[in-house]
Amino acid sequence: MRSLQRPGRSPVLAPHGMASTSNPLSTQAAVTVLQNGGNAMDAAIAASAVQAVVEPESTGIGGDCFCLYSEAGSDKVIALNGSGRAPMGLTAEWLLKQGISEIPQQSPHAVTVPTAIDAWVQLNRDHGKKSLGDLLQPAIGYARDGFPIGQRVEADFAASRELILGDTDLSSLYLKNGDNYKMGDRFINENLAKTMEAIAEHGRAGFYEGWVANDILKKLNSLGGVHTQDDFDAAVANYVTPIKTNFRGYDIWECPPNGQGVIALMLLNIVSGMDKFGNHPISLERIHHEIEAGRLAYRDRNLYLADPEFSDVPVTAMLSSEHADFIREQINPNKALDTLPESTLPKHKSTVYISVVDKDRNACSFINTVFHNFGAGILAPESGVILQNRGQGFVVDPGHPNCIQPGKRPLHTIIPGMATKDGKTVMSFGVMGGEYQAFGHMQFLTRLFDYGMDIQEAQDTPRFMPDPFSDVVEVEEPISNELRDGLRALGHNIQPASKPIGGSQAIFIDWETGLLIAGSDPRKDGCAIGY
């Protein structure tokens, strides 16, 4: 139990239903849906739609979605992949001829075809109780009538000022007379309200056909993008078979590749055989070992993770006990690895997270994103849609399994999580923060199950993150200078985090008491609410 004399949050408890999101307006919308007869899926969609309005830098209908869902508290976990594909006219060879060897953020080539709306439509049709039109009404209201900018959103807007200035349509909407929006300012996006009204009335066609699609395509084509109406017609989310590993007696479920959930599971396998080094995770020895495990796991991610429709991703080998043992054996307890060893795997060529549990114990783990803050920094002006930059998840190297190809999905960072035990779902959880998410799943679950923290403490604990593409390790402010110096002495390139590392939400189902127990990350503006 936390000290009640210090700032912090207690877990939220409720008997009937619960929602936890990164924005209070979104959480309230979800709880209202639950109280009015909707189920967990309905509430998650309504919440995601609100967040597309009130956290536009992090998510939106111009992005992607993944979902894990279990009905009536069972351990039969359903997974849906709502990530977008590269347009059919875009190839690595063409990009290289244009002199593009890495896809820049503010580029039409970074925009994969948005698939979140198709995911919402399918999930609502197959698992919801309320109409999609009804679920979109709170979001439409906030877009049309306005909402107050929160503190974290203000900071995210300010941090993205240069990107915003790079697109005239984006800057005309997301700057206030040339200045950054401040906390408490009312923000209105009437065009986005009209787009959501079109989706409410016409469903999938309201986004992928007609004036909305035309507006998006016109903007992308004007910038040199090769997207076509055929690409939008082909944008379909897919049900997939989830993957899992067992950690401390719990089955932990993730969506399969092209998402990085397999890396989260791999990290759990690695740390399952690792010493705790005391009763608290923020110790020199434990931090060092987690950093090294993360560096080695992300090495494998960058080498092998890709769209399984185009490449044979070695998921079984990645999750084998032998590979976990191999990685643990590479960790030197006294020194950071100068050069990462070769992998033993087979050789071959800003986000919002929502957790909802309803009175029937349907559990929804739902994540929606435009990737980096403001995605590709491209706004379709008439529809008010910000377009994602997921195409940056590709590499432009024809010999790499994650090389961009027509109709291919990129390596994806967003990963909802679910935990089951003894035939029942016990927790819906997720972590935000792009590259951090796989590492964040490991950190959250080990704090919960290895160190005995409650569901809120496990999210509050100071974080650190090894950069997947360099030797930099970012650490949050609460990690002491003494620990930082100790890590540097071991050879780690320790740098202060430029912003809070990630965010998270989780809801635990206590089957003995019948209670729902939730936490929400203080690094965001959100909260958990139950009834």
Which residue numbers are catalytic?
A: 351
Work out the angle at residue 459's Cα, subtended by the Cα atoms of residues 305 and 52, and round it to the nearest 5 degrees. 65
What Å distances lie between residue 467 and 4, 128, 365, 434, CA to CA?
A: 35, 39, 26, 11
DSSP state of 255: P
Note whether 209 and 413 are within 8 A (CB): no
Kindly state the tokens that stand for 399. 């010999």
How far apart, in whole angstroms, are the C-alpha atoms of residue 21 and residue 428? 12
How far apart, in whole angstroms, are the C-alpha atoms of residue 479 and residue 462? 6
Dihedral angle sign, alpha carbons of residues 155, 161, 162, 166: positive
3-state secondary structure 434-448: CCHHHHHHHHHHHHH
How far apart, in whole angstroms, are the C-alpha atoms of residue 110 and residue 433? 19
CB atoms inside a 10 Å sphere around CB 1: 8
Minimal CA–CA distance to 63: which of 398, 374, 397, 513? 374
3-state secondary structure 84-134: CCCCCCCCHHHHHHCCCCCCCCCCHHHCCCCCHHHHHHHHHHHHCCCCHHH
Work out the angle at residue 132's Cα, subtended by the Cα atoms of residues 128 and 135, and round it to the nearest 5 degrees. 90
Work out the angle at residue 300's Cα, subtended by the Cα atoms of residues 96 and 293, and round it to the nearest 5 degrees. 140
How far apart, in whole angstroms, are the C-alpha atoms of residue 104 and residue 524? 27
Per the listing, tokens 């993360």 go with 294
How far apart, in whole angstroms, are the C-alpha atoms of residue 333 and residue 418? 32
